Amino acid sequence: MGFDTNEDLARARSWIQAADAIAVLTGAGISAESGVPTFRDADGLWRNFRFEDLATPEAFERDPKLVWDWYNFRRERIATAQPNRGHKALVALETRKSEFTLITQNVDGLHELAGSKNILKLHGDIWLVRCTKCAAEWVDRRPSLPEIPPHCLCGGLARPGVVWFGEPLPKRVIDEATQAVKSSQLLIAVGTSAIVYPAAGLIPIAKAQGRTVIEINPDETPCSDMADCSLHGPAGEILPLLVT
Ligand code: NAD
């Protein structure tokens, strides 16, 4: 691991122990050790498409079947994934704190599956399907939808219940996340490249409020410069060390 293991870990542990109110921001990296690929790491390409060209409203308008094909591929990978030691450490941390908010950019549902309770999903949920005509929303947990693109009972075309690039986040969710960051003493940013806004903007908000920020990521990110402590290693190894 690329950090001064003992000293940095000990500092981060003591901050976590002392804080009554903690907010955690997770990104795709926390699920990497569960076998769910991140967007920006090695297999960021699917059939030669970049994810930026698929996870957009324009892509869906142009070719809904292609976008659903990609979501079926992702659903199949996520369906067999299990929460890892990082997800589980966050469950343990939640049980020990009077205020704990888990803000996630992930759509894979692994935090719930692990047992986390107070979760704000900034970017929706891959198992949700939403009608583009009447806005009805329903859960469909089949790994791969047999008929794509699916349709609603009203006849409208249905889309994945996620937030795409260029779309606004649900106001209630981002407002609650901002409030949780402001009212927490500590923000832990785990497995996020910290470049997708407005999620990444929660980190400078924490700093502007004088909160302590801990980062967990094998790589340097824009968060590393802001964090009071950057622990450069995998979440599944570091989080259990911080929480036990
Ligand atoms: P990202 O793909 O941009 O970045 C992932 C980050 O995780 C990188 O900084 C990488 O260094 C780090 N990482 C890799 N392995 C790690 C590990 N073992 N432990 C800790 N960190 C590790 O992801 P992002 O910042 O979440 O933003 C991209 C967007 O992609 C988000 O909107 C998210 O909704 C979406 N996404 C979600 C999933 C999912 O639900 N699992 C998967 C891919 C992308």
Instruction: Look at ligand 1, atom 40, and give the residue with the nearest C-alpha.
Output: 106
Q: Say what the alpha-carbon torsion angle 46, 50, 56, 58 is, to the nearest 10 degrees.
A: -100
**Which ranges in the chain are annotated with CATH 3.30.1600.10?**
44-80+130-162
Peptide bond into 198 cis (omega under 30): yes
Whether residue 105 has its Cβ less than 6 Å from ligand 1: yes
Annotation marks residue 151 as catalytic: no
User: 6-36+83-123+169-243, what's its fold?
Assistant: Rossmann fold (3.40.50)
What is the predicted pLDDT for the residue at 1? 46
What are the residue ranges of CATH 3.40.50.1220 in the chain?
A: 6-36+83-123+169-243
Atom of ligand 1 nearest to the CA of 105: 34
Mutate which of 39, 75, 120, 216 for ligand 1 pocket (most atoms within 8 A of beta carbon):
39
Class of domain 44-80+130-162: alpha beta
pLDDT band at 186 (very low <50, low <70, confident <90, very high): very high
What number does the ligand 1 atom closest to the CA of 200 have?
Answer: 25
Q: What is the pLDDT of residue 5?
A: 72
Residue whose Cα lies nearest atom 39 of ligand 1: it is 106
Q: Is the pLDDT of residue 2 over 50?
A: no
**Rounded distance between C-alpha atoms, residue 16 and residue 9, angstroms:** 10
Q: Name the residue at shortest CA distance from atom 41 of ligand 1.
A: 28
pLDDT computed for residue 3 by the predictor? 54
Which residues neighbour 228 within 8 Å (Cβ) at sequence distance 6 or greater? 15, 212, 213, 214
State the number of CA atoms in the 13 A half-sphere of 59 facing the CB: 21
